[in-house]
Structure 1
Amino acid sequence: MMDYFSMNEIAAKKPATQTSQWPVPADSVRYVVPEPIVRLLAAHPLTRELYPLAFGHYRRAAGHHMHREHHRDNLLIYCTDGKAFLNVAGVPHTVEAGDLLLLPAGASHRYTADPDNPWTIHWVHYTGPLAEDFGQYMGFDDSTRIRHLGRQPRLLVDFNGLLSVRQTGFRARGLIHASNRLRQLLAAVPINADETSQARQAELDSLHSFM
């Protein structure tokens, strides 16, 4: 297995996903997996079922907006601050801090950061034969685009684990590791949701005890 790709080979290929063209400031990150490595991930037995195409972290993304009529992959976004306005297949939504949203392949959508309180997000584009199964496992469907998880340190750790692959440059082994970090991230979402529900119930129980 080739462990590194040359810059010339990478530059000659188009990206496998369509990310926004929002200008990334110094305190934010956008990493697009080079097409040669995407092909490797799509064929490798340890990654071909689920693998990332791009991921990043945008802080107070003023002016951030995107419209995808033909969405070819899956996009998971975790909002940790601020607000954005989302429309999926003609249905409007508001995204706020603590919300996790999934835009699955095939779902036309557009979103715009609130100009007065722009969102801060971690995000990942991904694909693979298991992508739809993971979407269902996380609790998303056509009627549930957004799940409110609140602040989840574990989820932030998993997203930051994806971002750490930048330190490996264009090393294939780093992206294979990132693919399995992605699987871990998605598999942990129901656990994070359960913890949020339990915390809410404990808060309600505490309130009821004073009534």
Structure 2
Amino acid sequence: MNIAQKKIKDGFVGQKMIVLPPNIRRNILNNDLISRFHVVSSGFFPHAAYHDRERKTGCSEYILLYCTAGTGTISIADRTIQLTPNHFVILPKDTPHHYKSSLIDPWTIYWLHFTGVYADYLHQKYAELKQEPVFLAYDTKRIEDFERIFSMIENSFEERNLEIVNIKYLNFVSSLLYAREMDPLTPGEDKISRSVLFMKKNPGALYSVQELAAQQNLSVTHYSRLFRAKTGSSPNQYFMEIKVQSACQYLYFTDKSIKEICRELGFGDPFYFSRAFKKLMGVSPVHYRNQHKMD
């Protein structure tokens, strides 16, 4: 058997795929909640050797291909691009295209076919990114979200379930397109992002602005200016907000005393902690706990 004969559209070991039947698609079009954005098919192709799909007249839906391993190529219009791990593309509807997995290093892809008025808008936002394919830092939660949504649609085509599924898929696609805006402080993006990540991972630490600036090899003046430009706050104010947010979690989810929480967050003086907490939250830590304590 030659290579050409081995080209396949689907049927990979471990694959998952769902295509909505025509009657279900008609029902969706009559549902005002999800008619403007809905997924008509979705799937997961792991290590998809010989995956090869060509549509000479294109597809009536937009196609999202998100690669997590391996490589492949996509030919569309007059260009060919390579899809590699942690990248995604959205192919325009009604446009001829041809995509295929590498024979040497077959890709693993998550994919969606989606349509609707909002789909048109989202593809426009994709075009505005002016990069193809689009890079995404790997996030296990993103994969878990996709698999959770897929499991929901596997279970039922009931209307209420389809509403939830498509709302979640809209959020999933949006999270790819607005990744930078939704998490502007992505680890490793820049020095201020790294500094903020350090603060979030170490809410109990006690560091001066001088020490935080030194961590990023910046002068205090330059560090403070960049920090305010990115976050809208001074480093001290931002770090305090992180500590108070952590305190809220302790007050809500644990029975730790105020003194214990102070120690966890690096406050030597419970009275100072209470004043700082009330300034940001509008109530004292004790009041906050009484007001929001879990039953």
Scaled to the shorter chain, the TM-score interval is 0.7 to 0.9
Structure 2 residue 65 is the aligned partner of structure 1 residue 44:
no
SS of 2:65 mapped into structure 1: strand
- Give distance in 1, aligned partners of 2:42 and 2:35: 18
Shift of 1:78: 0.9
Looking at secondary structure, tell me which structure has more helix per residue. 2
Q: Deviations over 1:74-122 (max 9, x none)?
A: 0111100110011111201010000011001122111110111111111
Distance (whole Å) between structure 2 residues aligned to residue 21 and residue 176 of structure 1: 29
Q: Which residue of 1 aligns with 2:43?
A: 56
Aligned mate of 2:56, from 69, 72, 78: 69
Distance 2:94 2:103 in 1: 28
Whole-angstrom distance in 1 between the partners of 2:89 and 2:172: 14
Aligned to 1:86: 74
Q: Any idea what the Cα deviations from partners look like across 1:57-84, whole Å, max 9, x if unmatched?
A: 1111011110112221101111001100
Query: C-alpha offsets along residues 119-144 of structure 1, whole Å, 9 cap, x if unaligned?
Result: 1111110101111111223x335954
In 2, Cα distance between the equivalents of 1:149 and 1:36? 36
1:73-152 matches, cutoff 5 A: 73-137=61-125, 139-140=126-127, 144-152=131-139
Structure 1 or 2, whichever has the larger Rg, is: 2
State which of 135, 138, 146 in structure 2 corresponds to 1:159: 146
| Whole-angstrom CA distance in 2 between matches of 1:78 and 1:159 | 11
Cα displacement (A) at 1:40: 0.8
Distance 2:50 2:192 in 1: 38
Distance in 1 between the 2:34 and 2:178 partners? 23
Counterpart of 2:11 in structure 1: which amino acid? P
CA distance in 2: counterparts of 1:51 and 1:57, whole angstroms: 18
| In structure 2, C-alpha distance between the alignment counterparts of 1:204 and 1:110, rounded to whole Å | 41
Aligned Cα RMSD in Å? 2.7
Residues 142 and 166 (structure 1), Cα distance of their counterparts in 2 relative to 1, 3 Å cut: closer
Q: Map Cα deviations across residues 136-165 of structure 1 (whole Å, 9 max, x no partner).
A: 23x335954420113123432332233112
Distance 1:140 1:158 in 2: 24
Structure that is richer in strand per residue: 1
- Residues of 2 paired with 1:196 and 1:43: CA distance? 37
Instruction: Mark the CA change 1:202 to 1:134 in structure 2 (over 3 Å): closer, same or farther.
Output: same
Deviations 1:27-51 (A, max 9, x none): 2101101111111111101111010
Displacement after TM superposition at 1:187 (Å): 2.1
Unaligned runs of 5+ in 2: 1-7, 195-215, 218-295
| Equivalent position amino acid for 1:72 in 2 | S
- Report if aligned partners of 2:153, 2:162 keep a CA contact under 8 Å in 1: no
Identity %: 20
Alpha carbons 2:149, 2:168 under 8 Å: kept: yes
Residue 186 of structure 1: how far off its partner (Å): 1.9
Residue of structure 2 in register with 1:30 after alignment: 17
Letter in 1 for 2:158: R
